[in-house]
Structure 1
Amino acid sequence: MKALTRKSNRILDPPPSLDPVDTLALADTHDVRGNRRSGTPTLIPLSPPPWHLARPGDQSGEDPGTSSVFYIHMLLRNTLFLHCLRLFILLQTSLTLHLATAQELTDTSSMSTNGEPQKFQSPLDVEKYPGTPEGLNLEQVHIYVRHGERTPVGVRMADQPANIPEQWIMCKTARRMQASVHGMPEIGDQFLESRKIVERKDGTSMPGECLLGELTDLGRKSTYDYGTSLRKLYIDKLGFLPDTLEKADQVYFRTTNMPRTTESLQHIIHGLYPTSKCHPNAIPPILVRNGRDENLIGNTSNCKRLEVLLVGFAQGALFLRLFESSYAHVIPLAAASAFNPTLEPLDKKLSKYIGGKPVRVDGKPRASGIMDTIRAAAAHNIKVPPEFEDKGVVDTIERAVIAEWFSDKTEEVRRLGMGRLLDDLSRKIQHKVEYGEKDPLKVLVHATHDTGLAALCSTLDVFDEKWPAFTASITFELFKRTADPQSSSIMQTVMSPFRTMTKPEYFVRMRYQNKNMVLPMCADEGKHLSGSPEFCTLTAFRERIKELTPVDWDAECAPGGRASR
Structure 2
Amino acid sequence: MARLKRRRLKIILVLFVIIILLYVYYENEYGSELMKQSVYRNDLEKISEKILFKGVQDKNLHFQNKSATSSLGVLKYCNFPNPDSLKEDTHHVQLNIQGYTLQQVHVMIRHGDRTPLHTIADRPNPRISCKFSKKEKHAHWIVGKFISKMQNEEAEENFEFLNPYPNQPYCRQSYLTPQGAVQELLNGLKAKYKYIDQLDLFRQSFSERKVIAKSTVYPRTFQSATAFMFGFLSDFNVRVKIHKARTDFCSERDSGLVCQCPGLSNYAKPQNNMRKMSKFTQEAIMNFKHKVARIFHMDVREINSLTHIFDALMVRACHGLPLPCNKEKKSCVNRKMLDTLWSLINTDLQHNYLYNENNLKASHLKFHPLLVEMYSRMKNYTKRSSTTKFVLYSGHDITMTPFLTLLGIFDGKWAPYASTLFLELYSKKEESKIHYYLKIIYNGVDKTKDLKFCRGSEMCKFKYFEQFVNSHLEKIELNDYDSECFS
TM-score by length of 1: 0.58
Q: Which has the higher contact order (CA 8 A, sep 6+)?
A: 2
Q: Say if 1:180 and 1:396 are closer, same or farther in 2 by CA, change over 3 A.
A: closer
307, 310, 313: which one aligns with 1:368: 307
User: Offset at 1:115?
Assistant: 6.0
User: Offset at 1:292?
Assistant: 9.4
Q: Say if 1:352 and 1:209 are closer, same or farther in 2 by CA, change over 3 A.
A: farther
CA contact (8 A) 1:402 1:467 kept: no
CA contact (8 A) 2:262 2:485 kept: yes
User: Offset at 1:153?
Assistant: 1.0
Which residue does the alignment assign to 2:190? 229
In 1, Cα distance between equivalents of 2:165 and 2:104: 39
389, 399, 405: which one aligns with 1:442: 389
Which residue does the alignment assign to 2:13? none
Which residue does the alignment assign to 2:125? 166
1:288 maps to amino acid: K
Which residue does the alignment assign to 1:546? 470
Which residue does the alignment assign to 1:465? 412
User: Offset at 1:128?
Assistant: 2.6
In 1, Cα distance between equivalents of 2:409 and 2:355: 14
In 2, Cα distance between equivalents of 1:449 and 1:428: 22
429, 432, 451: which one aligns with 2:398: 451
Which residue does the alignment assign to 2:22? none
CA contact (8 A) 1:111 1:381 kept: no
Which residue does the alignment assign to 1:141? 105
CA contact (8 A) 2:248 2:399 kept: no
Q: Are 2:181 and 1:250 aligned?
A: no
Name whichever of 422-431 and 371-380 sits farther off.
Answer: 371-380
Q: Say if 1:248 and 1:337 are closer, same or farther in 2 by CA, change over 3 A.
A: same
Q: Are 2:435 and 1:505 aligned?
A: yes
Which residue does the alignment assign to 2:297? 355
Q: Are 2:465 and 1:535 aligned?
A: no
CA contact (8 A) 2:165 2:226 kept: no
User: Offset at 1:376?
Assistant: 3.2
- Listed as ranges, the matches of 1:104-119 within 5 Å are 109=53, 116=62, 119=76
177, 197, 201: which one aligns with 1:216: 177
CA contact (8 A) 1:314 1:404 kept: no
CA contact (8 A) 1:429 1:478 kept: yes
In 1, Cα distance between equivalents of 2:286 and 2:162: 52
In 1, Cα distance between equivalents of 2:116 and 2:398: 15
Q: Say if 1:405 and 1:211 are closer, same or farther in 2 by CA, change over 3 A.
A: farther
User: Offset at 1:253?
Assistant: 1.0
CA contact (8 A) 2:114 2:177 kept: yes
In 2, Cα distance between equivalents of 1:450 and 1:241: 30
Write 1 or 2 for the structure with the bigger share of helix. Answer: 2
User: Offset at 1:305?
Assistant: 3.1
Q: Are 2:485 and 1:557 aligned?
A: yes
User: Offset at 1:336?
Assistant: 9.4
Q: Are 2:249 and 1:310 aligned?
A: no
Question: Which protein shows a greater Rg?
Answer: 1
334, 345, 352: which one aligns with 1:386: 334
Unaligned runs of 5+ in 1: 1-103, 160-164, 182-191, 199-206, 316-332, 485-501
Deviations 1:368-407 (A, max 9, x none): 2112222333222222231456534421233124434554
1:395 maps to amino acid: S
2:175 maps to amino acid: E
SS of aligned partner of 2:212: strand
User: Offset at 1:430?
Assistant: 0.5
1:459 maps to amino acid: L
405, 417, 426: which one aligns with 2:375: 426
1:513 maps to amino acid: N
Across the two proteins, how many residue pairs are aligned to each other?
380
SS of aligned partner of 1:149: coil
1:250 maps to amino acid: K
SS of aligned partner of 1:312: coil
Deviations 1:471-490 (A, max 9, x none): 11111111112127xxxxxx
In 2, Cα distance between equivalents of 1:157 and 1:295: 40
Deviations 1:256-276 (A, max 9, x none): 1111111101011111123xx
Q: Are 2:356 and 1:408 aligned?
A: yes
Q: Are 2:200 and 1:239 aligned?
A: yes
SS of aligned partner of 1:557: helix
In 1, Cα distance between equivalents of 2:165 and 2:438: 44
Deviations 1:481-515 (A, max 9, x none): 2127xxxxxxxxxxxxxxxxx42221111111211
Q: Say if 1:409 and 1:424 are closer, same or farther in 2 by CA, change over 3 A.
A: farther
Unaligned runs of 5+ in 2: 1-47, 63-71, 133-146, 324-332
Q: Say if 1:374 and 1:120 are closer, same or farther in 2 by CA, change over 3 A.
A: same
User: Offset at 1:218?
Assistant: 0.9
User: Offset at 1:194?
Assistant: 9.7
User: Offset at 1:219?
Assistant: 0.8
TM-score by length of 2: 0.66
CA contact (8 A) 1:256 1:294 kept: no
In 2, Cα distance between equivalents of 1:293 and 1:236: 29
Calculate percent identity across the aligned residue pairs.
19
In 1, Cα distance between equivalents of 2:76 and 2:460: 31
Q: Say if 1:134 and 1:222 are closer, same or farther in 2 by CA, change over 3 A.
A: closer
CA contact (8 A) 2:107 2:422 kept: yes
CA contact (8 A) 2:424 2:439 kept: yes
Which residue does the alignment assign to 2:446? 516
